[in-house]
Chains A and B, each alone.
Chain A
Amino acid sequence: MSYDRALTVFSPDGHLFQVEYALEAVRKGTCAVGVRGKDVCVLGVEKKSVLKLQDPRTIRKIAMLDDHVCMAAAGLTADARVLIDKARVECQSHRLNVEDAVSIEYITRHIATIQQKYTQRGGVRPFGISTLIIGFDSDKVPKLYQTDPSGIYAAWKANAVGRSSKTVREFLEQNYKDDMSRDDSIKLTIKSLLEVVQTGAKNIEIAVMDINGIKFLESSEVEAVTAIIEAENAAEAEKKAKKGPSASS
Chain B
Amino acid sequence: MEFLNLKSTVPLPEEDSTLLSPQIDCPKFVIPNVSNPVEFLAKYTAPGSKYALDIHHGTTTLAFKFKHGVIVAVDSRATGGNYIASQSVKKIIEINPYLLGTMAGGAADCSYWERELGRRCRLYELRNKERISVAAASKLLANMVYAYKGMGLSMGTMVTGWDKKGPGLFYVDSDGTRLTNHLFSVGSGATYAYGILDAGYRHDLSVEEAIDLGRRAIYHATHRDAYSGGVVNLYHVKENGWEVISQDDVTELYYKYTAEPRPPLV
A, B assembled together: yes
Q: Mark A85-100, 1 if CB is under 8 A from B, else 0.
A: 0000000011001111
Chain A-chain B contacts (Cβ-Cβ < 8 Å), number:
39
- Stretch of B15-23, B38-46, B209-217 that contacts chain A: B15-23
Q: Is A124 within 8 A of B136, CB to CB? A: no
Q: Mark A166-192, 1 if CB is under 8 A from B, else 0.
A: 000000000000000000000000000
Q: Is B135 within 8 A of A123, CB to CB? A: no
A118 contacts partner chain B, Cβ-Cβ < 8 Å: yes
B10 contacts partner chain A, Cβ-Cβ < 8 Å: yes
B259 contacts partner chain A, Cβ-Cβ < 8 Å: no
The docked-state distance in angstroms from the alpha carbon of A94 to that of B140 is: 11
Q: Is B23 within 8 A of A97, CB to CB? A: yes
Closest to A117 in B: B13
A106 contacts partner chain B, Cβ-Cβ < 8 Å: yes
In which size bucket is the chain A interface?
10 to 19
A81 contacts partner chain B, Cβ-Cβ < 8 Å: no
Show 30 residue pairs from A and B whose CB-CB distance is below 8 angstroms, ordered by the A residue.
Answer: A94-B23, A97-B24, A97-B136, A97-B139, A97-B140, A97-B143, A98-B135, A98-B139, A99-B133, A99-B135, A99-B136, A99-B139, A100-B133, A100-B135, A100-B136, A103-B128, A106-B128, A114-B13, A117-B13, A117-B19, A117-B20, A118-B13, A121-B10, A121-B12, A121-B13, A122-B8, A123-B8, A123-B12, A124-B12, A124-B13
Closest to B8 in A: A122
The docked-state distance in angstroms from the alpha carbon of A100 to that of B140 is: 13
Q: How many residues of B contact A (CB 8 A)?
A: 17
The docked-state distance in angstroms from the alpha carbon of A46 to that of B155 is: 57
Most buried by B among A94, A97, A124, A138: A97
Q: Which residues of A contact B24 (CB under 8 A)?
A: 97
Q: Mark B116-143, 1 if CB is under 8 A from A, else 0.
A: 0000000000001000010110011001
Q: Which residues of A contact B12 (CB under 8 A)?
A: 121, 123-124
Q: Which residues of A contact B128 (CB under 8 A)?
A: 103, 106
The docked-state distance in angstroms from the alpha carbon of A106 to that of B24 is: 16
Q: Which residues of B contact A124 (CB under 8 A)?
A: 12-13
Q: Distance in Å from the Cβ of B204 to the closest Cβ of chain A?
A: 27
The docked-state distance in angstroms from the alpha carbon of A82 to that of B128 is: 25
The docked-state distance in angstroms from the alpha carbon of A121 to that of B135 is: 36
Q: A97-B136, A121-B10, A123-B8 are in contact. List 4 more A-B contacts (CB 8 A).
A: A103-B128, A117-B19, A122-B8, A138-B164
The docked-state distance in angstroms from the alpha carbon of A97 to that of B139 is: 6
Q: Which residues of A contact B164 (CB under 8 A)?
A: 138
Q: Which residues of B contact A98 (CB under 8 A)?
A: 23, 133, 135-136, 139
Closest to A96 in B: B139
The docked-state distance in angstroms from the alpha carbon of A221 to that of B229 is: 73
The docked-state distance in angstroms from the alpha carbon of A106 to that of B8 is: 31
Q: Distance in Å from the Cβ of A153 to the closest Cβ of chain B?
A: 14
**In the complex, the 7 A-B pairs of residues with the closest C-beta atoms, listed nearest first:** A98-B136, A99-B135, A117-B13, A122-B8, A97-B23, A97-B139, A99-B139
Q: Distance in Å from the Cβ of B45 to the closest Cβ of chain A?
A: 27
Q: Distance in Å from the Cβ of B184 to the closest Cβ of chain A?
A: 18
The docked-state distance in angstroms from the alpha carbon of A123 to that of B7 is: 12
The docked-state distance in angstroms from the alpha carbon of A100 to that of B143 is: 16
The docked-state distance in angstroms from the alpha carbon of A20 to that of B112 is: 47
Closest to A99 in B: B135
Closest to B143 in A: A97
Q: Which residues of A contact B23 (CB under 8 A)?
A: 93-94, 97-98
Q: Which residues of B contact A100 (CB under 8 A)?
A: 133, 135-136
Q: Which residues of A contact B133 (CB under 8 A)?
A: 98-100
Q: Distance in Å from the Cβ of B121 to the closest Cβ of chain A?
A: 12
The docked-state distance in angstroms from the alpha carbon of A121 to that of B128 is: 26
Q: Which residues of A contact B135 (CB under 8 A)?
A: 98-100
Q: Which residues of A contact B136 (CB under 8 A)?
A: 97-100
Q: Distance in Å from the Cβ of A232 to the closest Cβ of chain B?
A: 42
The docked-state distance in angstroms from the alpha carbon of A97 to that of B140 is: 7
Closest to B134 in A: A99
Q: Mark A51-88, 1 if CB is under 8 A from B, else 0.
A: 00000000000000000000000000000000000000
Q: Which residues of B contact A114 (CB under 8 A)?
A: 13, 20
Q: Which residues of B contact A99 (CB under 8 A)?
A: 133, 135-136, 139
